[in-house]
């Protein structure tokens, strides 16, 4: 059997995108979305991403065998959801695993739901109603050193975050702000002790440029689009996210989970395919980036495949940029 080296695809028997990775029970568990060819024309609202279930993947070594634990949650089992099971994430507390997932409700509005399981592999049982104060897409849950859990969420354009800017849903709002006004930031809120609701009103995260000024709406190379992820390295909080139409994964750093965060640079240059979405996890003393591209589908945007590669930090805590085409560092 040929040696498997990084970067690598996790699975090839299905299309698995938006990989959110965590270490549970001594293994890496990956929670991807499950891409299918729904036969829907591509548009800026992402209607062609019409996923209907989630699988769970696990691996004990990043170059070893990957186990597909099968379907963990189905759209048809979520009473409030009508379509589009987009990127999810999972957290653990007191013997229970909590899956947070977005879906459009029967009015076409993205909400975030919760499902629970006694196993990181699922299956997960959904609650009958979505979370009360959460909205938009791409929930990601970060557990801080003191055991507090925070949820990060939001995405503009088809993710609808811009429609919630004034606190209530407004379908007439343009896909994103423009000009010199500050770009929209992702939302963050502490989770309640029972992990089923938000413990506070969501706050908008401010992302600043190195001079201390807010990233502007027209700065598409650095502004937030979707896929917020939080990790901590040597005491510093790293907020990473996708820039969307400029096809980069970038990051900003701060000294607390709420921000503000200062833009630091690019993690991953554009991959094959329109979208880019990721997670970052430490495992056995090394750091890894989980991401996806559309190479295996011949570049078809809605058919993406999850990958993993090693992530490297410089002595000052900055992240070495990876080439999206190769998954390898652009510098030594």
Residues 6 or more apart in contact with residue 198 via CB below 8 angstroms: 131, 132, 133, 134, 151, 189, 190, 191, 192
Q: How many CA atoms lie within 13 A of 87 on its CB side?
A: 32
SS3 assignment, position 296: helix
SS3 assignment, position 158: helix
d(CA 56, CA 298): 24
Q: Which residues are catalytic?
A: 18, 226
Is residue 109 a contact partner of residue 169, using CB atoms and an 8 Å limit? yes
Read off φ and ψ for residue 40, nearest 5 degrees: -100, 130
d(CA 21, CA 31): 6
Please say whether the dihedral angle defined by the alpha carbons of residues 68, 7, 289 and 315, taken in this order, is positive or negative. positive
Read off φ and ψ for residue 219, nearest 5 degrees: -85, 75
Residues 164-191: b if buried by 16+ CB within 10 A, e if exposed: beeeeeeeebeebbeeeebbbbbbbbbb
- Terminal-to-terminal C-alpha distance of the chain: 29
Cα distances (angstroms) measured from residue 104 to each of 79, 98, 135:
11, 19, 10
Is residue 10 a contact partner of residue 306, using CB atoms and an 8 Å limit? yes
């Amino acid at each position: 059997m040929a040696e498997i080296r990084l970067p690598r695809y996790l699975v090839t028997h299905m299309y698995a995108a938006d990989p959110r990775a965590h270490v549970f029970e001594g293994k890496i568990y990956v929670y991807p979305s499950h891409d299918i060819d729904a036969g829907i024309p591509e548009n800026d609202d992402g209607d062609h991403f019409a996923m209907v279930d989630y699988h769970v993947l696990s691996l004990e070594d990043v170059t070893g065998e990957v186990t597909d634990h099968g379907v963990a949650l189905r759209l048809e089992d979520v009473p409030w959801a009508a379509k589009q099971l987009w990127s999810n994430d999972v957290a653990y507390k007191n013997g229970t695993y909590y899956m947070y997932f977005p879906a459009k409700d029967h009015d076409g509005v993205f909400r975030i739901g919760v499902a629970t399981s006694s196993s990181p592999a699922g299956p997960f049982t959904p609650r009958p109603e979505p979370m009360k104060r959460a909205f938009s897409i791409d929930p990601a849950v970060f557990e801080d050193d003191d055991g507090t859990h925070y949820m990060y969420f939001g995405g503009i354009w088809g993710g609808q975050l811009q429609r919630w800017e004034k606190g209530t849903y407004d379908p007439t709002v343009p896909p994103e702000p423009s000009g010199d006004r500050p770009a929209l930031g992702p939302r963050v809120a502490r989770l309640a002790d029972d992990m089923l609701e938000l413990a506070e009103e969501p706050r908008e995260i401010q992302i600043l440029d190195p001079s201390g000024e807010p990233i502007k709406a027209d700065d598409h190379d650095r502004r937030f689009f979707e896929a917020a992820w939080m990790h901590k390295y040597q005491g510093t909080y790293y907020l990473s996210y996708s820039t969307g139409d400029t096809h980069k994964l970038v990051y900003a750093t701060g000294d607390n989970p709420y921000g503000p965060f200062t833009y630091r640079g690019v993690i991953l240059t554009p991959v094959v395919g329109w979208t880019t979405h990721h997670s970052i996890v430490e495992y056995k003393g090394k750091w890894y980036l989980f991401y996806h591209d559309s190479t295996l589908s011949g570049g078809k945007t809605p058919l993406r495949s999850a990958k993993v590669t090693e992530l490297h930090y410089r002595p000052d805590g900055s992240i070495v940029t990876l080439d999206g085409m190769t998954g390898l560092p652009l510098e030594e």
